[in-house]
Amino acid sequence: GCKLGHTCNVVKNLIYIFGGCGWDECQTNDVHVFDIGTYIWSKPVMKGTHPSPRDSHSSTAVGSKLYVFGGTDGTSPLDDLFVLDTATNTWGKPDVFGDVPAPREGHSASLIGDNLFVFGGCGKSSDPLEEEYYNDLHVLNMNTFVWKKISTTGVSPIPRDIHTCSSYKNCCIVMGGEDGGNAYLYDVHILATETMAWREVKTTGAELMPRAGERRARHIILLWGM
């Protein structure tokens, strides 16, 4: 059925849709698979330790595995990490170490080398009626599962969620999103991961309308959103 806040990853000729929230406002932890060659949908039976139902999480494809982090269960933001081995349809929950990011949803996750860069998102603030928007950066080493909070230099993006972050060579490119005042953004920032320095890009030409919730892929950029 219809859903939002899900993730979409390509592994070989298969598209994996995980989680999301339907019109009934209930989160799911279902996995649906679309075969690009046959145009056939399937819902494989998954084994192992399943993630709880969630939306607004991140899911990153690394080889035949999907790494799912964070999101919201509809009540509280999450900070857990799960790995789906698509070769065996098995979920796992690895032990993680180090500076685990605060629970969050609407963040981004981009892979460069053996490191997963998690930026931004929103979570709970000290006021239970308010959300806190983040512009912090954490890196997960995919070999050791050690999290590290990164101190950056330069002009950082303002706190935001439901933005995009694309990896290109050794850079993370952040665009758009929504700030803590519910304003949609259209700025572009680039993080050089070799130096951990941010810079804002001054763009020219026909500017994009401010937007949030857009999507991107490694070689094709899809610009939708609200």
Tens-place pLDDT, residues 40-50:
999 999 999 99
- How does residue 223 score in pLDDT terms, banded at 50, 70 and 90? very low
HSE-up of residue 139 (Cα within 13 Å, Cβ side): 16
Average pLDDT, the chain: 91
The single residue listed with the structure tokens 């399943």 is 50
pLDDT of residue 206: 66
Distance CA 226, CA 218 (A): 22
> Are the beta carbons of 33 and 42 closer than 8 angstroms?
yes
Tens-place pLDDT, residues 38-95:
999 999 999 999 999 999 999 999 999 999 999 999 999 999 999 999 999 999 999 9
Q: What is the CATH number of domain 95-222?
A: 2.120.10.80
In angstroms, the Cα distances linking 120 to 5, 12, 147, 187 are 16, 29, 15, 14
Q: Classify each residue of 162-197 as buried b or exposed e, where b means 16 or more C-beta atoms within 10 Å of its C-beta.
A: bbbbbbeeeebbbbbbbbbeeebbebbbbbbbeeee
- List, in order, residues 6 or more apart from 168 with CB less than 8 Å away: none
Domain ranges, ordered by start, for the chain: 95-222
Residue predicted with more confidence, 100 or 2: 100
- Give phi and psi for 50, each to the nearest 5: -80, 145
- Please tell me what DSSP assigns to residue 78: E
> Are the beta carbons of 167 and 112 closer than 8 angstroms?
yes
- The pTM (predicted TM-score) of the whole model is 0.90
pLDDT of residue 89: 98
What's the residue count for the chain?
226
